[in-house]
Amino acid sequence: MTNTLFQQATDIIRQNDRGHYTVPTHGLYPFQWNWDSCLAAMGIAYIDEVRAWQEIETLFAHQWQDGMVPHIIFHEQDDGYFPGPEIWNTGRETPTTGITQPAVAGFAIRRLFERAVNQDLAQQKATELITKVAHWHEWFYQYRDPEDTGLVAILHPWESGRDNSVDWDEAFANVPTQGVKPYTRRDTKHADPAHRPTQAQYDRYIWLVQHFLSLQWDNEKLHDESPFQMVDPGFNAILIRSCSDLAALAEKLGMEQLAKRQRELAKQGLQAMNNLWSDKHQQYLCLDRHTNQLVDSASSGGLLPIFADINPQHAAIIADRIQTLSQQCRYLLPSHDPADSRFDSKRYWRGPSWLIINYMVADGLEQHGFDEMAKQIKQQSLELIKTHGFAEYYDPLSGESCGGDSFTWTAAMVLEFL
Ligand code: DGY
């Protein structure tokens, strides 16, 4: 059985391979997505290490001059996706979007490096990539933390990767929809509309894109002029973990200065993360930078900080909280608290379980010494795949597969779990 799963996972990764990058899935997501690619690279490494490094190299070949690494690279024309390059209009030779995504690259390249069979190749590729990843991290703190709080803000829900999380509902009341040019969604042609964000949310996604375009994608302006500025604990935790991992990698490569700076960034972030803790919810919450209030929404974004080196008391409470969640649903880890009336078991990030989150949370649980809980998450993840296939995400109550199918990062995470 294990071999069969391994084979199925590698087949999916090969099917979605476009030569120098991998699409998340055929149809729904026909380009290169930032964090999909970095997580996919870890799975690709089991098949072909050269190709795994290339996946991340391709992404960083499209890094902006200021250090930003875009969330989508539109390598080819494909009318099956909206909003395509003409809507973003960022003026790049190979079109890209103008927003970013969770900074998982630092974590991924350390893993690739440490597991590499081909050590010479790993040494060469890691040395080439490390300064680019460090530049991206600096970009985050320069442009998304202008007041030096230690934590960065996202300006569009798509940056978090958790597009329609309950976390954004209140803040979305301040994002207008007037002036949104007429458009046709394509996502609902590829996936069940009941599994996808609503039209009202899409209008706001597009308004923000149009607004940033009107500012000419100038990162000097975007942060202050965005009506949506959210400090997401999960997003920050991934960045902090990547800073620490980059520091560890830099030490191995003899790059002392770079290591020191990345350690500093991680330390400041970890300290500031304490301000996002909620005793009421027993987890971290998002902070709306416009209201300076924590958002009353217990999502998986507030559990993800266990992926970083958070303080041991908070880590233990999060482990307990995951234990409680495991009694409320069949398959960990629901993206929203099932006890909350806003929980929706099938709608994208308002309830469903995602294997990439399971992977990062399980890794964090292990780092903090909660091996049993980590094991339970891994077992349930593999059970989901065996019974419901390699979907984009899953109903945490029934296990039903949702969204797109033959999904690259789901396959990559299965290879990791196996
Ligand atoms: C989409 O189009 O659904 C994506 O999540 C944007 O990154």
Q: What pLDDT does residue 190 have?
A: 96
Whether residue 158 has its Cβ less than 6 Å from ligand 1:
yes
From the CA of 101, give the closest atom in ligand 1.
7
Q: Is 392 in the pocket of ligand 1 (CB under 6 A)?
A: no
3-class state of residue 53 by DSSP: helix
**Ligand 1 pocket, 405 CB below 6 A?**
no
342 CB-contact burial (10 Å; exposed 0-12 / middle 13-18 / buried 19+): middle
Query: Is 392 noted as a catalytic residue in this protein?
Result: yes
Give the nearest ligand 1 atom to 72 CA.
7
Select which of 55, 167, 232, 392 is catalytic: 392
Q: What is the pLDDT of residue 115?
A: 97
Please report the pLDDT score of residue 284 as a whole number. 98
* Spacing, Cα 56 to ligand 1 middle (Å): 20
251 is annotated as an active-site residue: no
Only one residue has tokens 């990162």, namely 219
Residue numbers in the chain where pLDDT is lower than 70:
1-3
Residues 6+ apart with CB under 8 A from 257: none
- Ligand 1 pocket, residue 187 CB under 6 Å: yes
Closest C-alpha to ligand 1, atom 7: 158
Rounded CA separation 75/399 (Å) = 34
- Residue whose structure tokens are 């460090």: 134
Burial class of residue 36 in the structure, from the number of CB atoms within 10 Å of its CB (0-12 exposed, 13-18 middle, 19+ buried): buried
- Give the three-class secondary structure for 29: strand
Q: Which CATH number fits domain 2-417: 3.40.50.1780, 1.50.10.10, 3.40.50.300, 1.10.240.10?
A: 1.50.10.10
pLDDT digits (tens, 9 = 90+) for 340-380: 999 999 999 999 999 999 999 999 999 999 999 999 999 99
**Cα distance between residue 132 and residue 356, in whole Å:** 24
How far, in Å, is the centroid of ligand 1 from the Cα of 127? 31
Q: Does the C-beta of 159 come closer than 6 Å to ligand 1?
A: no
φ, ψ of residue 246 to 5 degrees: the values are -65, -40
Asked if residues 284 and 302 have their Cβ atoms less than 8 Å apart, the reply is: yes
| Residue 81 alpha carbon to ligand 1 centre in Å | 9
Nearest-atom number in ligand 1 for the CA of 196 is: 3
Q: State the pLDDT at residue 3.
A: 66
| CA 215 vs CA 65, 220, 229, 266: distances in Å | 17, 10, 16, 31
Of the candidates 141, 114, 162, the one whose C-alpha atom is nearest the C-alpha of residue 301 is 162
